[in-house]
Amino acid sequence: MKTTAFLRTADGREIQVDTREGLIGDVTFYYPDFVPGDALDEDAGVIWRLEAPDSDYLAIRRHSEFWCSPAFGNDLRLVPDETQLLLCRSGENWLALLPVVGSDYKCVFFGAEGGLCAKQFSWVKNRADCRDPAFVAAEGTDPFETTERAVRAAAKVLGSPVREDRRYPEIFKYLGWCSWDALQIRVSEAGVLEKCAEFREKGIPVKWAILDDMWAEVAPFNTAVYNSREEMFRLMHSSPLYDYEASYKRFPNGLKHAIEKIHACGIKVGIWHPSTGYWFGLDPAGEAYRKLSDYTVALSDGRIISDWHENMAFAYFNTMHRFFRSCGADFLKVDNQSMTRRFYKGMETVGRVTREWHRGLEASVGLNFDNAMINCMGMASEDMWNRGFSPISRCSDDFQPENRPWFTKHILQCAYNSVLQGQFFWSDYDMWWTDDTQAEKNSVLRAVSGGPIYVSDEIGRSRAEVLAPLCLSDGRILRCDRVGMPTADCLTVDPTTSGKPIKIQNISNGCGILAAFNLSSDNTPVSGTVGPEDVPGLEGEEYVVFEHFSRSVTVVPKTGRIHVSLSGNDDYRLYVIVPIQNGFAPIGRADKFVSPAAIAARIGEEVTLAEPGPYAYVKNGKYYEEAYHE
């Protein structure tokens, strides 16, 4: 691929410079090649122009400070700004173009009148050199393998861990609950304990709970009155943290006492906190500031937040995290992570700031909580490339209950964002409600995610029957083995206008798991096909395709296809694709969405399930379902 690079100086001049290429295997790295001279523009120091032919593409672009979403097209001039992965299809061939974040510079793609462009920037005014790669390119016939190859090669050069380098925490293998949608900033010990009692009474095996925004002492909350969600958010975002002890009124006996009470219900506890202490930093008159002030920086808007230097960030977070651990907390959820451009820009280069800040945070999380953390509001590429070993990251905007347009946006973000983020982390699809009118649709989506599953039901409103297909009786989630992603034939097609279903695929215990949804923007029917080739990595020549809700069974060869038609936005399917061996194919627990995950062992046709329940299998083309007893 032919490229041209220009330096854009701080005073607005453009100077053409040489470029050079490097190879790791068959992945090409692209570097600017010049002798340092004039100071470069802090937001676009090196501009690249790429001579790539127009093709159908998927762009994973950063649409807000914190979140990404997919964009589809076939005109590279229209590639959105802040694109962090561009996956192009031409016939059977795929090209993965991946901008990276190096020691100092970050790169993103954007479209312009002349075609596809990229820009490298440092965030600092006086930078005159750039030795970092801008982007990498890989080609192949499998889009998933091609993208993975590009990420792995770049990660090796840049020293970034990929998902296989990370360990999935035991706690997130079980069903959870979050206080946010249920109690919002009114979260209290009494409210959480009431919800724990509800779980016990209904036999719902929730094993962990997050004390979310805002359990701590925030002085303005004590006198504020708000009458709408918008007013509540204005209050939150203008308020600083007074103390990271629990709210004196809502947790009258302190955080330690509340956690002990929750533990007594058989539920572990996670502590939510933003990267900034609270949304407007630390209260200079408060206890939190008194304990943390040596490790902070003051911003021009009056906000006081953690210093970005690794040792200072570690001291800041470790001071808080030691306290949470002493109170008995089991894990963390850290929010507001892609805030570094807003708050630290100009202090040091984007690469160095985010690398050091994340090292400080993750050192504390590793020391105090064995890396058990959900990263949130952190989909900027500088966060993906610079996190240490925490394994889970949110991949969508916040859950919106009883909101059908939101579901479309949500599923698009979760599925397509995972094509990039899933190379680094397991994707967290966020909380949801079991009594939402879209509850089953939400549950199927999370079943194929491969990540944590947790709800935020209000008190009295949890439905055990909605959660039962997702887990075993002890709360252990029947998880897929990798990160859920769209099928290859969906990657460059907008499912809101294509007339085809969006299909999300994963794998479990050697079997394919595929969910199909109708996202038609005008709620009209869509149709397409499903088959074993939709799920990369399946091994076998003949398969059973089992549809969960209808119990229909079809035997197909590896290249076989089955027609699927979805009548409207509330129509969906869930398929289990099982290789046939000597005429036999065990489906697993027929009442569970990821049925093969319930198979504990198999020798020939002798199958052991993790616990009793309806056992489904196909033998010589015929479907059987029978009660399984240990």
CATH number of 504's domain: 2.60.40.1180
> Do 325 and 464 have their domain in common?
yes
The chain-wide mean pLDDT, for the chain, equals: 97
Q: For residue 52, what pLDDT band results from cuts at 50, 70 and 90?
A: confident
Instruction: Say yes or no to pLDDT of 516 above 90.
Output: yes
pLDDT at position 629 is: 86
Q: How confident is the model at residue 82 (pLDDT cuts 50, 70, 90)?
A: very high
The answer to whether position 486 is within a domain reads no
Residues 500, 464 within the same domain: no
Q: Which residues contact 285 (CB under 8 A, 6 or more apart)?
A: 242
297 and 418 fall within a common domain: yes
Taking a C-beta distance cutoff of 8 angstroms, is the pair 362, 391 a contact? Answer: no
Output the six-digit token pair for 455. 């709800």
Residue 480 lies in a domain: no
Same domain, 444 and 373: yes
pLDDT tens digits, one per residue of 470-512 = 999 999 999 999 999 999 999 999 999 999 999 999 999 999 9
Q: Which residue has the tokens 């068959």?
A: 26
Question: Are residues 447 and 564 both part of a single domain?
Answer: no
Evaluate whether residue 565 is within a structural domain: yes
* One domain, residues 127 and 198: no
Same domain as 194, residue 129: no
pLDDT at 175 over 90: yes
Q: Give the whole-angstrom CA distance, residue 98 versus residue 601.
A: 40
Asked if residue 86 is part of any domain, the answer here is: yes
Per-state percent for the chain, helix, strand, coil, to nearest 5? 25, 35, 40
Last residue of a domain, one of 159, 181, 204: 159
Boundary (domain end) residue, out of 105, 132, 159: 159
Q: Is residue 113 part of a domain?
A: yes
Which residues on adjacent β-strands are paired with residue 71? 59
Whether 479 is in a domain gets the answer no
Percent of the chain topping pLDDT 90 = 98
Stretch 384-396: mean pLDDT: 97
Find how far residue 403's CA is from the centre of its chain. 21
Cα–Cα nearest to 104, from 84, 83, 122: 122
Residue closest to 412 by CA, chosen among 335, 312, 473, 495: 495
Q: DSSP string covering 419-442, please?
A: HHHTTTSEEE-----SSSTTHHHH
Pair (527, 380) in one structural domain? no
- Which of 135, 62, 129, 121 has its CA nearest to residue 350? 121
pLDDT at 53: 86
- Res 402: pLDDT: 87
SS3 (DSSP) at 601: strand
Residues 401 and 299 in one domain: yes
Q: 145 and 170, same structural domain?
A: no
pLDDT at 407 over 90: yes
pLDDT confidence of residue 401: 87
Residue 325 has pLDDT above 90, yes or no: yes
Residue 133 structural domain: 2-159
Distances (CA, A) of 206 to 174, 324, 459, 547: 7, 21, 14, 28
190 & 90 share domain: no
Mean of the pLDDT values across residues 15-25? 96
Question: Does 445 map to a domain?
Answer: yes
Domain count, the chain: 3
Tokens of 543: 């398969």
- Residue 336 is encoded by which pair of tokens? 């507001």
Query: CA gyration radius for the chain?
Result: 25
Is residue 272 in a domain?
yes
Q: How far apart are CA 471 and CA 609, in angstroms?
A: 13
Indicate if 450 and 531 belong to the same structural domain: no
Task: Using pLDDT thresholds of 50, 70 and 90, give the confidence band for residue 16.
Answer: very high
Angle (CA) 38-34-95 rounded to 5° is 120
Mark 465-485 as b/e (b = at least 16 C-beta within 10 Å).
ebbbbbbbeebbbbbbbbbbb
Start-to-end CA span in the chain (Å): 60
Q: Smallest Cα–Cα separation from 116: which of 141, 137, 131? A: 137
Is the pTM higher than 0.75? The answer reads yes
Cα 567 from Cα 542, distance rounded (Å): 29
Among the candidates 159, 193, 208, a domain finishes at 159
What Å distances lie between residue 575 and 101, 124, 306, CA to CA?
A: 38, 51, 47
Q: What is the CATH number of the domain that holds 267?
A: 3.20.20.70
Q: Is the pLDDT of residue 54 over 90?
A: no
175 within 8 A of 477, measured Cβ to Cβ = yes
